[in-house]
Structure 1
Amino acid sequence: MFIQTEETPNPATLKFLPGKVVMVSGTADFPTFESSRRAPLAQKIFSIQDVRNVFFGSDFISVTKNETSSWAVLKPSILGSIMEYFMVHDHVSVREEEGFSSHEELSEIEQEIKELLETRVRPAVAMDGGDIVFQRFENGIVYLQMQGACSGCPSSSATLKSGIENMLKHYIPEIEEVRAI
C-alpha cells in the first residue's frame, strides 16, 4: 500500500492520502485522545507521542502535531499505523456518541447556509485537509466549527472572514457575521 502525504496551509498539520475511501459518509474530528475512543484508527494514531489532533475526511486523514515535534520523526509511525489499519479494514468506522442526534429541525435560512457550505466551501477546505461544520445561526450570526487542518491554521480566520462570510452574505442577506467556535 502506498500512502501519499501533502502539506497543508497549517504547518502543524499533514494530510495523508491512502488512495482509498477513508469515511464512507461525513467527516470525523478527534481533538483529544479521549474523543478518539470512538474510532480505533484515531486512537492508534493518538498513541503516537506528540499527535494533537486527528481528522478523517472522505479520502484523507489529517494529523496535527505539537509545534515542538518534527514530521521527520512522526511521519513513519503515522504511515505505519494507517497502513496496518487499512490492511484489515476497507474504511474507517466511527461509533456514534451516546445521546447524539442528527435529526434536528432547521429553518429555511439554516438549510440554505448548510447547502452553500456543502457545495461551495467544504470541497475547497477538504483540499487543504480540513472541514467546516455549521453549528447554528442566531441573531444574524453564523457559527461554524473549523476542523482538521483548518483548526488552528494561521490563514483560517482570513478564509472565514474574507471568503466564507462574504459569500454567505451575498446569497443570504439576513447574515450579518460569521464566527468560528
Structure 2
Amino acid sequence: MKEEVAKIIDKIRPSLQADGGDVKLVDVDDEKGIVKVKLLGACQGCPMSTMTIKNGIERVLKEKVPGVKEVKPV
C-alpha cells in the first residue's frame, strides 16, 4: 500500500508546490489504514493545513488507494 500512496502523493505534490508548500510521506500503517504525512514550506504552520490534509490529501488517497482510512500530520 505504501507504494500506491507514494504515487498518489507525487501527483498531489505539484499543487502544493505551486503555493510554495510541499508534502512528505512519513509512514503508512497498512493494518490500521493510517497515512502519516509532513507538510513542508508554506504549508507548514499554515492555518489551512488541516483542511489541506483532510479535504485534499486524505480525500484523494481514500478515493484512489483501497485501505486508506485516515491521513494524519506529524
Residue 137 in structure 1 maps to residue 22 in structure 2: no
**One-letter amino acid of the counterpart of residue 124, structure 1:** S
Mapping for residues 29-108 of structure 1, pairs under 5 Å:
none
How many residue pairs align between the two structures? 72
Question: Higher strand proportion, which one?
Answer: 2
Q: What root-mean-square deviation, in Å, do the aligned CA atoms of Structure 1 and Structure 2 show? A: 0.7
When normalised by structure 2's length, the TM-score is 0.93
Query: Hey, what's the Cα distance between the residues in 1 that align with 2:46 and 2:73?
Result: 12
Query: Hey, what's the Cα distance between the residues in 2 that align with 1:113 and 1:146?
Result: 15
Unaligned 5+ segments in structure 1 are 1-108
Aligned to 1:151: 44
Unaligned 5+ segments in structure 2 are none
SS of equivalent to 1:150: coil
Query: Hey, what's the Cα distance between the residues in 2 that align with 1:123 and 1:135?
Result: 18
Greater RCO (Cα-Cα under 8 Å, separation 6 or more): 2
**One-letter amino acid of the counterpart of residue 2, structure 2:** E
When normalised by structure 1's length, the TM-score is 0.39
Query: Hey, what's the Cα distance between the residues in 2 that align with 1:117 and 1:170?
Result: 13
Query: Hey, what's the Cα distance between the residues in 2 that align with 1:115 and 1:172?
Result: 10
Q: Which of residues 112, 117, 126 in structure 1 aligns to 2:17?
A: 126
**One-letter amino acid of the counterpart of residue 127, structure 1:** A
Query: Hey, what's the Cα distance between the residues in 2 that align with 1:118 and 1:176?
Result: 19
Based on CA coordinates, which of the two structures has the bigger radius of gyration? 1
Aligned to 2:72: 179
User: Deviations 1:31-84 (Å, cap 9, x if unpaired)?
Assistant: xxxxxxxxxxxxxxxxxxxxxxxxxxxxxxxxxxxxxxxxxxxxxxxxxxxxxx
- How far residue 176 of structure 1 moved from its aligned partner, in angstroms, is 0.6
Give identity over the alignment, percent: 38
Query: Hey, what's the Cα distance between the residues in 1 that align with 2:59 and 2:43?
Result: 18
Aligned to 1:117: 9
**One-letter amino acid of the counterpart of residue 167, structure 1:** V
Aligned to 1:168: 61
